[in-house]
Amino acid sequence: MTAPQIVWLRRDLRLVDQPALFAAAESGPVIPVYVLDDERPGEHRMGGAQRWWLHHSLASLDRSLRERGSRLVLRRGDAVQELCRLAEETGAKGIHALHHYEPWWRKAESELAGRFELHLHDGNYLVPPGTVRTGAGELYRIYTPFAKALRRELPSLEPLPEPQLTAPAKWPRSDRLEDWRLLPTTPDWAGGFVEAWTPGENAAKAQLEQFADHADRYADERNLPSIEGSSRLSPRLHWGELSVGQVWHALADRSGAGVDTFRGELIWRDFTQNVILAFPDYQTRNYGEAFDRFPWRYDKGEIRAWRQGRTGYPIVDAGMRQLWQSGWLHNRVRMIVASFLIKHLLVDWRVGERWFWDTLVDADCGNNAVNWQWVSGTGVDTQLFTRIMAPLTQSVKFDAGDYIRRWVPELADVPDRLIHDPPAGTYIPKIIGHREGRERALAAYRQLRTG
């Protein structure tokens, strides 16, 4: 019998438009494998919310594979060692995988290629990161010219069909998913996740179809947290339950400002991968080195209040409670809560980045770091630090009343004219006034500029 091919899965948990799986299936029997490697990412090992999603997505993928006469093999440990060990056990002649661009996975791919026949395929992004370059051959550091160049070079993105899988003569040993203990035990903080999400490829396809039907309204509705105007596809793309090519293709026959705006956000996702490709330590270091001298504050009580959604600003608190209870946060509100932490509380952006990393089901290395550095004014393509969002103004502008009532139920009966800034005695007091926070932030920035 033909020697089997191993397919190394990471954030590409799907059967359709999966180039590594498709290529392996054309070469012989396929052994799909996921290795839980908690050591390589170092301090950026998967957070609790990601682990919850991973458990359910792996279970869903295994069910789909078994329906097709295959199965998912699970191993835990160093990814390179486990894959080489599995290849020796099974007599596999090749390992197929999709390129991943987190610095720890790039290192693992390099090590594995030096020890075994590794076939790397593109398929997680619109174009392979690193291929869209300036006329001087450099990686873009500004989004707008990058987006224009990418659109010129964009391939057809016709999704690959689901492959026909052949099982190996003998299946290797596999861990039990339950033994990995990816799910919370006591207390079970993920109850709201179950209400908000159904991980897996089938649910992802259904969500894409639902979004495509109203994508033309996206530009108008995406900033309004009180309505379901977001695509909610970010965890699907992060975990690879959908390919970005599938999403782009689903909108191919649609046009208008909403669709074009959403396509721009898919391109931003590519842009952030190019940033971490160029700067592998972007999650932990200021791109603007001058901010290494910034007079950050670390008030533990204020940081705790921000995390728990008890700052006294209803829009901020609603966002942080939505994040904790559902593992996701509305895009406009992400910017508001990030700006509040950095500008009003003068807390280093890395504190927020780590909290999002632990609590978001869609916590992506590139998106998370680039977006936090964008808000903080420390990044490659960034807003100025002096742009300080006013939470109360933002709440009114984007009509967040019903959003606040849902996530801050103690304000459920407050009328529209008071909901954004409840009077004293109606809600917990603000931990800092907006004007006071703004002036303190500007003073700190002036201190940085004057040395």
CATH number at residue 82: 3.40.50.620
Q: How far is CA 449 from the centre of its chain?
A: 33
Q: Looking at the predicted structure, is the pLDDT value of residue 226 above 70?
A: yes
Q: Are residues 92 and 44 in the same domain?
A: yes
Residues 98 and 134 in one domain: no
CATH classification at residue 392: 1.10.579.10
Q: Which amino acid is at 322?
A: Q
Q: Please say if the pLDDT value at position 258 is more than 80.
A: yes
Q: Which domain holds residue 6?
A: 1-123
* Continuous H helices in 197-348: 201-213, 218-221, 234-238, 244-250, 257-278, 300-308, 314-326, 331-339
Per-residue pLDDT tens for 275-332?
A: 999 999 999 999 999 999 999 999 999 999 999 999 999 999 999 999 999 999 999 9
Is the pLDDT confidence value at 387 over 70?
Answer: yes
Residue 130 falls within a domain, yes or no? yes
The number of beta carbons lying within 10 Å of the beta carbon of residue 314 is: 29
**End residue of a domain, out of 226, 252, 278:** 278
In a domain, 35, yes or no: yes
Is there a domain that residue 185 lies in? no
Q: Do residue 309 and residue 433 come from a single domain?
A: yes
In a shared domain, residues 91 and 151: no
Q: How many domains does the chain have?
A: 3
Same domain, 381 and 271: no
**294 and 405 in a common domain:** yes
First-to-last CA distance in the chain?
71
Is pLDDT of 434 > 90? yes
Tell whether 150 and 273 lie within a shared domain: yes
Cα 326–328–332 angle (5° rounding)? 130
Q: What is the mean pLDDT of residues 248-259?
A: 91
- Which residues are the active-site residues? 265, 268, 296, 331, 349, 372
Give ∠ CA 135-140-141 in degrees, rounded to 5: 140
Residue type, 106: R
Whether residues 248 and 220 fall in one domain = yes
Boundary residue ending a domain (278, 302, 329): 278
Q: Is residue 163 part of a domain?
A: no
Looking at residue 270, which CATH number applies to its domain? 1.25.40.80
Domain boundary among 246, 278, 310: 278
Q: Are 70 and 86 contained in the same domain? A: yes
Please tell me the distance from the alpha carbon of residue 20 to that of residue 9, in angstroms, as a whole number.
9
Q: Where are the alpha helices (DSSP H) in 116-173?
A: 143-153
On whether both 3 and 24 belong to a single domain, the answer is: yes
Residue 83 to residue 78: CA distance in whole angstroms: 9
361 within a domain of the structure (yes/no): yes
Q: Tell whether pTM > 0.95.
A: yes
Q: CA-CA distance, 125 to 105, in Å (whole number)? A: 16
- 363 shares its domain with 406: yes
Are residue 334 and residue 441 in the same domain, yes or no? yes
